[in-house]
Amino acid sequence: MENKQYDSIIIGAGPAGLTAGIYLSRAKARVLILDSGMAGGQIILTHEVANYPGFESISGYMLAMNMKKQAEKHGCEIKTNAQIIEYDLQAPLKQIKLSNGESYTAKTVILATGGRSRKIGAIKEDDFAGRGISYCATCDGDFFQDREIIVIGGGNSALEEAVSLTKYASKVTIVHMLDQWQAFASAVDEMKENPKIDYLMNSKIVEFVGQDNLAHVIIEEVATGKRYAKKIDGVFIFIGYVPNTEEIKGLVELNQYGEIIVDAHFKTNLEGVYAAGDSIVKRYRQITTAVSDGTQAALNVLEYIKQ
C-alpha cells in the first residue's frame, strides 16, 4: 500500500497526544495521530471532570471529544483502533506499520501512549469504574462529600490519599490484603492518627455490587476465606500505575517501572523521538499535566523540524 509521509506522527490520542496535535497542526505541520482504541484516553472513563480550567463541570467523554474535534479542525488526521505491528524509530525518517498493511513515515514521533491504574481484578470492577470506583483522589474526592468510602492499598500512595480524602468523606476504611504496611512509618503514623480512618488488614475486595452505581462490596478475609458484604458509597484504588509502554520496550529508554525517560525538552534517547503524558517519568498524572506535556513536546518538535 502507498506510504504516506508526515512531519510528525503521534502515538496516542489522549489529552497529551491531542494537545500536541492541536499545536502542531496550527503551525501547519502535517500530523497523524494513531490510537489503538478510541480517542480520549483514560478521561473517557471519567463520569465528571470538575478540575479542568474553563469548565465548572464536564463529562470526561465530552472533554475528550472536544479535544478531538479541535485537533481535526486544525488539520490533524486521526486514526483510531489502529494496531501498530512495527516501529522503526532509529532512522532519520521514522516509519510506523499497521496490521492492515498501511505504512506511515514522519520526520518526528511523539509517544503519548498514556497509562492505566493497576486494577485489583475483582468481579465487576470495570462495570463500576467512574460510577463508584475511582483511581484518582484529586479528580473525584469532592464527589464523596460526607460519604463513607474505602481505599484499597497499603503503600505510601494509598495511605497518603486516604488522609487526603478525609477532607471530604465522613469515614475512610483502608482495605489491605497483607498483614503489614508497605508505606513509610511517617505515612502510617499520620494515617493512624486520623480519627476518620479505620483499616482492615489481611482483607481484599472480591466483588463490587450495585445497579447504576456502586452500592456495596464483598470483602474476603485472606486467612480464613470468610466473605461478607459492606455497604459503601465509593472505592478508591491505589495499588500502582502501569504505563502503556509494552509495545515500545527496547525501542526507547525506559526506567525500572516502564516509564519513558525524557529530558527537559521531552526528548527521548532517540533523535527526533519525543514523549509526553502519563507514559513518561513524572510525579503527577492529571489531565492538565498531560496537556502541558503535549504542548511542550509539540513546541520542541516544531523547533526540531525547523532546524
Does residue 99 sit in the same domain as residue 209? no
Residue 118 to residue 217: CA distance in whole angstroms: 19
Does residue 177 sit in the same domain as residue 285? no
Residue 275 to residue 267: CA distance in whole angstroms: 6
Tracing cell 494509598 back to the chain, one arrives at 158
Model confidence at 40: pLDDT above 60? yes
% of the chain with per-residue pLDDT over 70: 98
Model confidence at 46: pLDDT above 90? no
Tally: H helices and E strands in the chain: 6, 17
CA distances (Å), origin 283, targets 65, 157, 268, 279: 26, 11, 18, 11
Spot the catalytic one: 7, 140, 233, 278: 140
Average pLDDT rounded to a whole number, residues 238-248: 92
Give the three cell numbers for residue 139: 479528580
pLDDT digits (tens, 9 = 90+) for 191-223: 999 999 999 999 999 999 999 899 999 999 999
pLDDT digits (tens, 9 = 90+) for 245-256: 999 999 999 999
pLDDT digits (tens, 9 = 90+) for 50-60: 889 999 889 88
Does residue 111 sit in the same domain as residue 249? yes
Give the three cell numbers for residue 48: 465528571
φ/ψ region of 105 (left if φ > 0, alpha if ψ in -120 to 50, else beta) reads beta
pLDDT digits (tens, 9 = 90+) for 128-180: 998 999 988 878 899 999 999 999 999 988 998 999 999 999 999 999 999 99
Model confidence at 234: pLDDT above 70? yes
Lowest mean pLDDT among 43-47, 101-105, 116-120: 43-47
Does residue 210 sit in the same domain as residue 225? yes
Looking at residue 139, its pLDDT comes to 80
Judge whether 127 counts as a catalytic residue.
Answer: no
The helix or strand, by DSSP H or E, that contains position 138, with its residue range, turns out to be helix 137-140
Judge whether 136 counts as a catalytic residue.
Answer: yes
pLDDT digits (tens, 9 = 90+) for 20-37: 999 999 999 999 999 999
pTM attached to this predicted model: 0.78
Confidence of residue 1 (pLDDT cuts 50, 70, 90): low
Does residue 106 sit in the same domain as residue 127? no
Last residue of a domain, one of 237, 258, 291: 237
Looking at residue 18, its pLDDT comes to 98
Residue 189 domain boundaries: 119-237
Spot the catalytic one: 76, 139, 278, 293: 139
What CATH number is given to the structural domain containing 37? 3.50.50.60
Model confidence at 2: pLDDT above 70? no
- In 3D, which of 183, 127, 190 has the Cα closest to residue 164? 190
Last residue of a domain, one of 213, 237, 261: 237
Does residue 88 sit in the same domain as residue 128? no
Does residue 107 sit in the same domain as residue 143? no
Model confidence at 48: pLDDT above 80? no
Last residue of a domain, one of 221, 237, 253: 237
**Domain total of the chain:** 2
Model confidence at 299: pLDDT above 80? yes
Residue 177 to residue 153: CA distance in whole angstroms: 8
Residue 178 to residue 151: CA distance in whole angstroms: 14
Does residue 128 sit in the same domain as residue 233? yes
**107: number of Cβ within 10 Å:** 18
Does residue 250 sit in the same domain as residue 288? yes
Give the three cell numbers for residue 263: 529530558
Does residue 220 sit in the same domain as residue 268? no
Does residue 130 sit in the same domain as residue 111? no
Does residue 217 sit in the same domain as residue 246? no
| Cβ-proximal residues to 228 (8 Å cutoff; 6+ apart), any chain | 218, 219
DSSP structure class, residue 47? S
Residue 64 to residue 67: CA distance in whole angstroms: 5
Give the three cell numbers for residue 20: 500536541
DSSP structure class, residue 118? P
Spot the catalytic one: 7, 35, 76, 136: 136
Judge whether 140 counts as a catalytic residue.
Answer: yes
